[in-house]
Amino acid sequence: MKNAFLLLVLSSAASAASAPFLPASTLRYEPTAQELMADCRSAKKRAEAALEAVARMPAGSRTFDNTPWALDQIGSDLSDNTASDTFLKYVSVSSSVRDAGNDCETLLGQFSVDVYSREDLYRALKEYAAKGEALNGESKRLVEKELLDFKRSGLELPKDKRDEVVALRKKLVELEATFGKNINEYKDFALFDKSELDGLPEDFVARLEKVDGKYKVGLDYPDYFPFMENSSNPAARRVMEAKFNDRASLQNLPVLKEVLALRLKAANLLGYPTHAHFILEDRMAKDPKTVAGFVARLRKKLKVLGADELLTLKSLKYVFEGRASDGRFNAWDWRFYDNQLKKAKYAVDAQKIKEYFPADYVTEQMLGVYQKLLGLKFRRIEDAATWHPDVKLFEITDAAGGDPIAYFYLDLFPREGKYKHAAAFSMITGRALTDGRYQKPVSSMVANFNKSTKDRPSLLTHDEVETFFHEFGHIMHQTLTKAKYGRFAGSATARDFVEAPSQMLENWVWDGEVLQSLSGHYLDHSKKLPNELLGKMLAAKNVNSGLVNLRQLLFGSVDQLYHGAPPADTTAAYARLASDIAMIPTSAGTHPEASFGHLMGYDAGYYGYLWSKVYAEDMFSRFKAEGVLSPVLGRRYRTEILERGSSRDEMDSLKAFLGREPNEDAFLESIGLKPGKS
């Protein structure tokens, strides 16, 4: 279970030691593993003492400030005080420090289970609530949510059952951390002769390491995706896909089986039929039936579209392979033929396009778009202490001036042991402090864009530019918060809404004016993306949108199935749903669920990516109508969505921004479907 105290504690991040500048005094960048764990334990001990003080307060002396707000402050303080400790699990160059960060995260997760299993704290909160003080808005919401947290942790159960739930939750914290660590630390690669690298860009091949005369291709994104999109050798693609979709299977399959069983057992003890019922109670969707209806409704609209797209891809495969074709469309065919279709039908060459998106220039121009849209000013802080030389630190001020309101780091390039995907980590939580000040938030964007070589700077594909906008949207959500309480700050919203603000901002990279401003050829930034190429890109936007979105429905459906009645064979269940929903079978011998990291953080919630996408497109419809760079509308978005966090119900924030009830029409139009039509 992810209760509020746990989320506050584990939303940490940052790092480093002695430094010319730090955005928050609690951040440390270069601890040893021993120092990290000592700091983690010390912070936990201080939190324990603070909680004890709340629990032992004399009867009749409870107020909002010394009980519900105090609990929120203690959790937020612990999160801030261990921010570096837990974040270093994902970014440190030292394997021992990464291990220590994982141990700290596990320790804090188990501690949070203890916190919400304490009868004395629950009694304290109920004692305050029984006073019936008139509370409004965010303060009333805080008390309601905290009471629910204790109830969902089993405080209404008999002690023996409650103790069982606590034991299960502590074990789950450990297993979930292990699952993620196994993925992050997994290393594998394939070796190919030069003759096996047909179709791959020269710059890609040139940067590959050689081992015994062969070219080494790893499974991290900067290697895997370009390889799968461009390799015209189906046997080589098959080797890579088999390795990629079998990552960490030996380690993680037994972990996953145990996690699913323990989650179900804990949910049953708490009175819920399944783990999905437990999770969804506190989400916008509320229950599995609503999610199932959403998936079925969308799947029906996408299935015919996806079937037509698959026929086109199969035909294209036959053109390429002729009689050598196996007559099937395989998992290792998907990315290659999707890319070839874009080239053949729309003359969209991702490798040519990326010449116009050098990472440094895109970063500069993207920051300009966000500044203009949201009324902000970003300034890079030179010589700032960071956890790696590649990392850059920026301060945020309002465009009108004044003191800094927040800070963010950009850590954009891969390295050994680093987090494999792209994500935004909330490091220091924005919130009101008891002395009347507002704490300045700090966040970090972590990505894995290809690094510069001696011949070329880092160049981004258009997909990577879109990823950049998405993750930076999370950074804005986290750093522009004005929520009073830490548990509602930034992106600490209902999990099936949290992606909507950043998904909404992906649309900017499909606007012609914005795309032109972001582009500048790596040899001469004044040379923008040619209009002809731009037009083809925009025309190709919805190529295979049916299959792409069916793939998202697959992930959401696998997640829901696993967290309903867990299947005895997770691999067979995954394969059945892949063929049925995504219409592309999994490869024999692979176990994709073993590297499905979202099962540990988005458990029973992966559907939220498409659920929130519906709201994202609805919000964007206002910008589409009134101007994608409208500072007036951008300010309204900042005020009604980004600054609010979860300080009010997410549906209320949507209605406030839209000025009406949300609907699915804009989403359907965005993927090439007519509203109301199958």
Give me the residue label for tokens 């390799």. Answer: 231
Q: Is 288 left (phi over 0), alpha (psi -120 to 50) or beta?
A: alpha
Tokens standing for residue 668:
């359907």
d(CA 373, CA 375): 6
Sign of CA dihedral 516, 668, 611, 331: negative
- Cα–Cα–Cα angle for 289, 497, 101, rounded to 5 degrees: 110
CB 352 within 8 A of CB 533: yes
Residues facing residue 443 across a β-bridge: 408, 426
Residues facing residue 446 across a β-bridge: 411, 423
Residue 405, CA atoms < 13 Å, CB-side half-sphere: 19
The residues near 27 (Cβ < 8 Å, ≥ 6 apart) are 14, 15, 16, 83, 84, 427, 428, 442
- Cα–Cα–Cα angle for 127, 129, 133, rounded to 5 degrees: 120
Q: What is the largest CA-CA distance in the chain?
A: 84
CB-based burial, 456-494: b 16+ in 10 Å, e otherwise: bebbbbbebbbbbbbbbbbbbbbbbbbbbbbbbbbbbbb
| Active site members | 471
CB 291 within 8 A of CB 503: no
Give me the residue label for tokens 């109508």. Answer: 625
DSSP states along 366-423: HHHHHHHHHTEEEEE-TT---SSTT-EEEEEEETT--S--EEEEEE-S--TTS-SS-E
Tokens standing for residue 57:
């307060």
d(CA 595, CA 521): 36
d(CA 58, CA 78): 25
DSSP states along 475-512: HHHHHS---SSGGGSTT-S-TTTTTHHHHHHHGGGGSH
CB-based burial, 89-101: b 16+ in 10 Å, e otherwise: bbbbebeebbbbb
For strands 438-439 and 392-398, give the pairing.
Answer: unpaired
